[in-house]
Amino acid sequence: MKICVIGQGYIGLPTAALFTKSGCDVVGVDVVKDVVNNLNKGKIHIEEPGLKEVIEIAIKNGKYKASLEPEKADAFIITVPTPYIADNYSCDLSYVIEACNEILPFIEKGNTVIVESTIAPMSTDDVIKPIFEKAGYTIGKDLYLAHCPERVLPGKIIEELIHNDRIIGGITPECSKKASEVYGQFVEGELMLTEAKTAELSKCMENTYRDVNIALANELAKICAEIGVNALDVIKMANKHPRVNLHSPGPGVGGHCLAIDPYFIYAKAPETAKIIKLARDTNNSMPQFVFENIKKITPNGKIAILGVAYKGNTDDDRESPAFDIITLLENEGYEVAIHDPHIKNDLYVDFENAVSESNLIVILSDHNEFKNMDYTIIKNNMDNPVIFDTKNIVEQVPSDIKLYNYGNLFELSN
């Protein structure tokens, strides 16, 4: 089987890689020329364990190539971004629509078209299906259309694409069957056949569920800072209950999923989805909360930012709350030095330069490198070392270094 994957990002590239492992011929399409050229040389542009090795083997075996344009194939998989429209929080389908129009000249009767991009409920029926019908296809008879959302964790994408259960949402039952045959080549989890609108809402609700629970933890952190209670102890004690699993508070919510997908539901029913919107507002307020506490610790000077990736041990900084915090600091007149060992950026500095002469270290990513830092470097380069750990990952520091986290922020109000 030949597969054409539109979009070679955090989802499209690993998906393409796994199809090559199952013996498929794969064309990975991307609009960025440098990405395409580098992929054809075996150079990947995202950090994901095991991915580079699979792509290198696939190129060597002639099973994978990157291209700026689609090719004829048996199945087309669309994995392009779907941001939200700021004015009304609705799903921006422009990239998906563009991808559908891009593959039209290469589609033949009997092909399967799968949209993996997270989309708002009813998008496949109301927006995507008419594109192919207008081109003369009868969905479910001579062209098979489905929405099959991914559900993976950065850092474990290869593993989870294989082992996680997969939702297969076809426009018709025959569409679901055809799409399941595509994924059945490498997915070892259950293939759950359903209709497209159910698949769309299921994916959005998965991420909304997580966003709401993170918001509860973040709200608890704010309450504890206000009334003088250790939030981390509260969470630890509460989670001893066999049916309670409070999440860990943090600097906000990032990533292309949790920070965006809940809006797709809210936009469909804004008068009803009140909890969903409140959770989004709560999580979006955390950068301001972090900023206010930074000002309490040090009203001016240099801030060393450790990590901008929203997910630890990855280079994924999409929708990262770190950028909002950095903007707030710079607008207030702070000098900001950024260090992230997982992200290549000419403006970022190494660890020693970041902490040198800093008034405060702020941890915004839960990278392993920050869980056990070289405290000698910190003490040699800071007069009065202070760390604000917004990810609650530092368990212990030397006695001559002050550590703030969501367990003791109330001290700043005393």
pLDDT tens, residue by residue, 8-45: 999 999 999 999 999 999 999 999 999 999 999 999 99
- Domain end residue (candidates: 196, 224, 251): 196
Residues 43 and 168 in one domain: yes
Of 179, 196, 213, which residue constitutes the final position of a domain? 196
pLDDT in tens, 115-131: 999 999 999 999 999 99
- Model confidence at 144, pLDDT cuts 50, 70, 90, reads very high
**Statement to judge: residues 192 and 302 lie in one domain:** no
What pLDDT is attached to residue 390?
98
153: confidence class by pLDDT, cuts 50, 70, 90 = confident
Q: Which of 157, 177, 196 finishes a domain?
A: 196
pLDDT, average across residues 82-100? 96
Q: What is the CATH number of the domain that holds 306?
A: 3.40.50.720
Position 402: which residue type?
A: K
Does the annotation mark 100 as catalytic? Answer: no
- Single-letter residue type at 18: L
pTM, two decimal places: 0.92
Tokens of 380: 């040699």
Residue 240 buriedness (CB in 10 A; 0-12 / 13-18 / 19+): exposed
When pLDDT is cut at 50, 70 and 90, the band that residue 142 belongs to is very high
Could you tell me whether strands 64-67 and 25-29 are parallel, antiparallel, or unpaired per DSSP bridges?
Answer: parallel
Helix (H, G, I), strand (E, B) or coil at 125: helix
Are both 31 and 152 inside the same structural domain? yes
* Any domain includes 211: no
Annotated catalytic residue within 129, 178, 203, 302? 203
Could you tell me the two tokens for 105?
A: 């000249």
Q: Is residue 259 part of a domain?
A: no
> Is residue 107 very low, low, confident or very high in pLDDT (cuts 50, 70, 90)?
very high
Same domain flag for 189 and 311:
no
- Structural domain count of the chain: 2
Q: What is the pLDDT of residue 414?
A: 67
The burial of 284, by beta-carbon neighbours within 10 Å (0-12 exposed, 13-18 middle, 19 or more buried), is given as middle
Same-domain status, 390 and 291? yes
Per the structure block, which two tokens stand in for 86?
């700021």
What tokens does 161 get? 């694409």
Considering only the C-alpha atoms of the chain, give the largest distance between any 2 of them, rounded to a whole number of Å: 73
Per the CB < 8 A criterion, the answer to whether 116 and 158 are in contact is no
For the segment 391-410, the average pLDDT, to the nearest whole number, is 96
What's the mean pLDDT in 303-317? 96
In a domain, 406, yes or no: yes
Residue 22: CB atoms within 10 Å: 15
Whether 203 is a known active-site residue: answer yes
Contact of 220 with 404, CB cutoff 8 Å:
no
Three-class SS of residue 6? strand
Q: How many angstroms from the chain centroid is the CA of residue 26?
A: 24
Taking only Cα atoms into account, the Rg of the chain, rounded to an integer number of angstroms, comes to 23
* Confidence (pLDDT) at 170: 98
Q: 47 and 185 share a domain?
A: yes
Q: Is residue 273 part of a domain?
A: no
- Tell me, yes or no, whether 233 lies in a domain: no
Q: Give yes or no: residues 34 and 165 share one domain.
A: yes
Please say whether the beta carbons of 357 and 368 come within 8 A.
no
| Set 4, 257, 302, 391: catalytic member | 257
Domain of residue 307 covers: 286-413
The reply to whether 177 falls in a domain is yes
Residue 39 lies in a domain: yes
28 and 167 share one domain: yes
User: Mean of the per-residue pLDDT values for the chain?
Assistant: 96
User: Six-digit token pair at 354?
Assistant: 């970041």
C-beta contacts of 293-296 below 8 A and 24+ residues apart: 293/225, 293/388, 293/404, 293/409, 293/412, 294/325, 294/329, 294/360, 294/362, 294/388, 295/332, 296/412, 296/413
184: confidence class by pLDDT, cuts 50, 70, 90: very high
Residue 116 is given by DSSP the state -
pLDDT tens-digit map of 187-227: 999 999 999 999 999 999 999 999 999 999 999 999 999 99
Tell me what percent of the residues of the chain surpass a pLDDT of 70.
100
- Is residue 360 in some structural domain? yes
47 near 314, Cβ under 8 Å? yes
Bridge partner residues of 386 (DSSP): 402
Question: Closest by alpha carbon to 304, among 372, 394, 364?
Answer: 364
